[in-house]
Amino acid sequence: MEFSEIKEWVGLSLVPEVGPKRFISLLNHFDSPEKVFSASLKELEQIPDIGRVVAKSIKDFNLWDEAEKQSTRIVEEGINFITLNSGEYPVNLKNIYDPPPYLFLKGELKKEDNRALAIIGTRTPSAYGKLITEKITKELVEEGITIISGFARGIDSISHHYALESKGRTIGVLGSGLDVIYPPENKSLAERIVKNGALLSEFLLGTKPEGTNFPKRNRLISGLSFGVVIIEAGMKSGALLTAKLALDQGREVFAIPGNISSLRSEGTNWLIKEGAKLVTRSVDILEELKSVLSQDKKELRKEEEYPLSDKEQKVYQLLSAEPAHIDLIAEESELATPTALSVLLNLELKGLVRQLSGKNFIRVQGR
């Protein structure tokens, strides 16, 4: 992405009262932040949930110096800036209710990272919690599962560590800017993750790990995953909030039972009573997710069998099980409509896309 484009995206996020939901509403209507800033006050006011106050805030925006500083650092520090309409944006995350408009990335996201499970829990695990985390993580990695976690002390860091030890992939989601490694003792872990996975954040560079950031981070942890595995969590643990977010996003929630007299296990045992899946080994998780994991594996095999061009890859990543009209596909892929149709035809011939009535297209979920 060009420097000027990054600056526009960052600039729109700096506008007071424009959070992720309003950002996406504006993006859906105007296609790009540049067009949002170019729109008239009247045009902005007509967008649902914008109104005169927010519209005027957009027109009066004057923090371009800050937007330029952020954009300069992003480019100079080699950070990948991924937008919602980019083919690199994680498919699982794109489908949640309130995805971030953009992500900061260090490392690399791969196709197989869509086959992901989150492992989270207390920052002060017992010996039992550490042992179970090691066991479950290693077993899931052996099945080709990418491990997602929140890069915090305790269960999070242990799951990242053993995913790497097992030669697997792991993604750490930060509650701070990518340049603010927290906890600080995880600096070497961060470097290892960047080489064999990815660090992600939706927060601007320089953002400190403040308490209000972590609920936002937690929705990304669950949103990137097929399901969330919780190992040791107290009743006030952030892991329980992540479990709720996972359920809201239609993800599975798994809990490891613990000692009934341990405060560390109060939250996990309560989740089980409330309907979370009780698991004692990775097989329990894999069996529960068998259909979705096998379906995703078929899609990966298809992509290996039929290598895609850059244009095909870009269009393919935009599609899901929800029908998308050719006009929207052309806009989001930044391709002329005839070119987009040609690309879709090629994908259809490869068995990866299906055309519905009214020039709508879906990604084929199985062969």
For residue range 137-153, what is the model confidence (pLDDT) as tens digits?
999 999 999 999 999 99
Report the pLDDT averaged over residues 228-234. 95
| pLDDT computed for residue 98 by the predictor | 87
Residue-wise burial string across 20-30, b where 16 or more C-beta atoms lie within 10 A, e elsewhere: bebbeebbebb
| pLDDT computed for residue 308 by the predictor | 81
| Position 301 pLDDT exceeds 80 | no
Report the pLDDT averaged over residues 31-50. 90
- Copy the structure tokens of residue 71: 């954009």
Minimum mean pLDDT range among 30-39, 155-164, 326-335, 342-351: 342-351
| Position 305 pLDDT exceeds 90 | no
The dihedral over CA atoms of 150, 154, 159, 161, expressed in degrees to the nearest 10, equals: 100
Q: Are 256 and 268 in contact (CB under 8 A)?
A: yes
Residue 224 CA: distances (Å) to CA of 52, 62, 93, 191: 35, 34, 5, 21
| Position 352 pLDDT exceeds 90 | no
Percent of the chain with pLDDT over 90: 65
59-103 confidence digits (pLDDT tens)? 999 999 999 999 999 999 999 999 988 878 998 998 888 899 999
Mean pLDDT rounded to a whole number for the chain: 90
| Position 304 pLDDT exceeds 70 | no
| pLDDT computed for residue 366 by the predictor | 44
Residue range 306-363 in CATH 1.10.10.10: yes
| pLDDT computed for residue 47 by the predictor | 87
Minimum mean pLDDT range among 28-42, 123-137, 332-346, 352-366: 352-366
Given pLDDT bands bounded at 50, 70 and 90, which one contains residue 297?
Answer: low
Provide CATH 3.40.50.450 ranges for the chain. 107-291
Given pLDDT bands bounded at 50, 70 and 90, which one contains residue 367?
Answer: very low
Provide CATH 1.10.10.10 ranges for the chain. 306-363
Of 325 and 321, which is predicted with more confidence? 325
What residues have CB less than 8 Å from 94, skipping those under 6 apart?
84, 320
Minimum mean pLDDT range among 45-49, 148-152, 165-169: 45-49
Report the pLDDT averaged over residues 92-120. 92
What is the CA angle 11-13-14, rounded to 5? 65
The listed CATH number (2.60.210.10, 3.30.420.80, 3.40.50.450, 3.40.50.150) that belongs to domain 107-291: 3.40.50.450
| pLDDT computed for residue 306 by the predictor | 61
The listed CATH number (3.20.20.80, 1.25.40.10, 1.10.10.1150, 1.10.150.20) that belongs to domain 3-76: 1.10.150.20
Provide CATH 1.10.150.20 ranges for the chain. 3-76
| Position 298 pLDDT exceeds 60 | no
Q: Are 24 and 50 in contact (CB under 8 A)?
A: no
**Residue carrying the six token digits 């806009």:** 331
| pLDDT computed for residue 294 by the predictor | 63
| pLDDT computed for residue 288 by the predictor | 86
DSSP string, 228-246: EEEES--TT-HHHHHHHHH
Report the pLDDT averaged over residues 180-209. 96
Given pLDDT bands bounded at 50, 70 and 90, which one contains residue 345?
Answer: confident
Given pLDDT bands bounded at 50, 70 and 90, which one contains residue 299?
Answer: low
